[in-house]
Amino acid sequence: MNKITIGQIQNAPIIDKNIYGHFSEHLGHCIYGGIFVGKDSPIPNVNGMRTDVVEAMKRLKVPVLRWPGGCFADEYHWRDGVGKERRRMVNTNWGGTVEDNSFGTHEFMELCRQVGCAPYVNINVGSGTVREMAEWVEYMNSDGDSTTVRERWANGRKAPFDVKYWGIGNENWGGGGNMRPEYYADVYRQFQTYCRTYGDNVPYKIACGPDTANYEWTEVLMRNAGNYMDALTLHYYTITKEWADKGSATDFDDALYFETLRKANYMDELITKHSAIMDRYDPTRRVALLVDEWGCWHNVEPGTNPGFLYQQNAMRDAMVAALSLNIFNRHSARVRMTNIAQVVNVLQSIILTDDEKMVLTPTYHVFDLFKGHMDAELMQCMLECPKLENGMERLSVSASQKNGVITLTIANFTDETAVQVEGIHARRISARVLSATPQAYNSFDAPNRVSPEVFNRFETTESGINLTMPACSIVSLSFDVNHPDI
C-alpha cells in the first residue's frame, strides 16, 4: 500500500508561478518556424507569431519566458536585432545556419505580450561588453530622453518595456567564456553594477550558476558575489545514456526507462546540496536558486539536423516532467523559477510543429495538470511507499493550497497501484489523469494518443481519499477542503 499524508507547513513557502517557466533560444526551429513565421506567412499569425502556438502557451498560463539563449545569448548582439536593417550572422552554436535577426527585441516583447508572460532576457557576457549590456537595459527600461531611448522610439515603441528578469551570462563556466568561478564572480559584479534601475523597475539580477554538481562554483559565487545577486541559476539535463549516444527519445526498453527516471531524480540531490551551500551564505534565503535549463536531452530524431536538437517527446518525458515539477515545488523555499528546455521543437518541448501542423506533447499536458500549484502555498506531503529497483520511491508527489483549494499531483512510475491519501476532508473533487506506456507519444498523425482524461477511480473516506492509479500515470486532484485536524 502507498500512503500520502497531507498537512500544513508553518510559514509555508509560496510555489512561485515562475517555476512553471519556459525557455526559447535561437536554435533549430524553436523561434523560426516554431514561434515566429513572419507577418506574410500563410500560417495564421498575429504580427508574425503563430496563433496556434501562442494560444497553446496561453492555455498553460506560461508565466515567464527566457530568451535569446542559452549558448546563443553569449554571441548575441542586441542591436543586430532592432530597426529596419538587421545584420546577418552565422549561428555557430546551432547548425551553422544564417541568423537574419528578423526576430529581435521588439518581436520577443510582442511574443510575451501575446502570451501574457514576463520576459526574461539573458544578456551577453561571453563576447559582449558592459556598455552593450547597459544600453540594452536602457533601451528596454528607460523613459529618459537619451539617444538610446530615442532609438527605441524610432523603432516604434514609446513606452519602456519594463523588463524585470536579467540573466547575466550563460554557462560562463563553459560556452559562455570558459571562466573560472573567481573570474566570473568578478565579471558578474562588474556587469551587474551597470544593469541599472529605471523608474521603479529594479532589475532582478540572475548570475550564472553551476553545471550539475559543480559545488565549487556555487561556493565561490555565493562567497564572492552573493550580495550582488537576486538569483543563481543551475543547469541540469537528464541524459539517459551518455553524451556521445544519449539514447533514442522513443525507442527504449524498461531498463532505460527506469534509468532515465533515476537520472532525473538526481535533481533533488543537486538542489539539496547547492541549497545547503547557499544556506551558509544566505540563511534568510534572499537569493533564489533557479533552474533555467532542465529536461531530457535525447538523440535527435533520425534524419534531422544534429545542430537543431529536435527530439520526440514520449510518456517517459512526461514522467520526468512530473517528477521534476514535484521536486521543484517541494524546494520552493529556495527555488523560485525554472525554465524547461525548450518551449517548441528543441529538446523536451511542450509543442512540436511541422510547417502549419502543431502537436502538444505529453510534457505539455503535465504542465497543464500542474497549473493549480502556481502561486499556491506548499503543503507537507509525507510519502510512504515501496522503492523501485533503481532506489527511487515508486511515486512522486507534491501538494499545495490556494483559496481553499488543494492541488495534489502524483506520478506513479510503474504498475497499477492503490494509493491512500490522508489528512484532508475533500469536497468537490475534480481529477484528471495522463496515462500511457512510457514509449507512447503524440505525432502529427495521432496527436491525441497521450492526452489527459477525467479521472474517477477514487472514493472519499472519513479522513481522505483512496485512489487506484493506472500503470505509468500522472494524476492531478483538486479539492475544496476543511481542515478539522489542523
Q: Are 93 and 388 in contact (CB under 8 A)?
A: no
Q: Is 317 one of the binding residues for ligand AHR (CB under 6 A)?
A: no
Q: Is 220 one of the binding residues for ligand AHR (CB under 6 A)?
A: no
Q: Is 75 one of the binding residues for ligand AHR (CB under 6 A)?
A: no
Q: Is 70 one of the binding residues for ligand AHR (CB under 6 A)?
A: yes
Q: Is 218 one of the binding residues for ligand AHR (CB under 6 A)?
A: no
Q: Is 293 one of the binding residues for ligand AHR (CB under 6 A)?
A: yes
Query: What is the C-alpha separation between 56 and 125, in angstroms, rounded?
Result: 33
Q: How far is the CB of 307 from ligand AHR (least distance, A)?
A: 11
- Choose which of 75, 135, 138, 171 interacts with ligand AHR (CB under 6 A): 171
Q: Which residues, numbered 185-204, are part of the site for ligand AHR (CB under 6 A)?
A: none
Which residues have CB under 8 Å from 203's CB, separation 6+? 137, 141, 163, 164, 165, 166, 195, 196, 197
DSSP string over 120-140: EEEE--SS--HHHHHHHHHHH
> 69 vs 203, which CB is nearer to ligand AHR?
69
Query: What is the C-alpha separation between 68 and 122, in angstroms, rounded?
Result: 6
Which residues have CB under 8 Å from 340's CB, separation 6+? 21, 22, 23, 294, 295, 321, 324, 348, 350, 363
> 25 vs 268, which CB is nearer to ligand AHR?
25
Q: How far is the CB of 415 from ligand AHR (least distance, A)?
A: 34
Q: Phi and psi dihedrals of 272, rounded to 5?
A: -60, -45
- Choose which of 69, 104, 160, 167 interacts with ligand AHR (CB under 6 A): 69
Tell me how crowded residue 243 is: count the other CB atoms within 10 A of its CB: 8
- Choose which of 60, 117, 323, 341 interacts with ligand AHR (CB under 6 A): 341
- Choose which of 45, 105, 122, 170 interacts with ligand AHR (CB under 6 A): 170
Q: Are 452 and 432 in contact (CB under 8 A)?
A: yes
Q: Are 234 and 209 in contact (CB under 8 A)?
A: yes
Q: How far is the CB of 375 from ligand AHR (least distance, A)?
A: 26
Environment class of residue 414 by beta-carbon count within 10 Å: exposed (0-12), middle (13-18) or buried (19+)?
buried
Q: Is 71 one of the binding residues for ligand AHR (CB under 6 A)?
A: yes
> 70 vs 209, which CB is nearer to ligand AHR?
70
Q: Is 450 one of the binding residues for ligand AHR (CB under 6 A)?
A: no
Judged by the rule CB under 6 A, the positions of this chain that interact with ligand AHR are: 25, 69-71, 170-171, 293, 341-342, 347
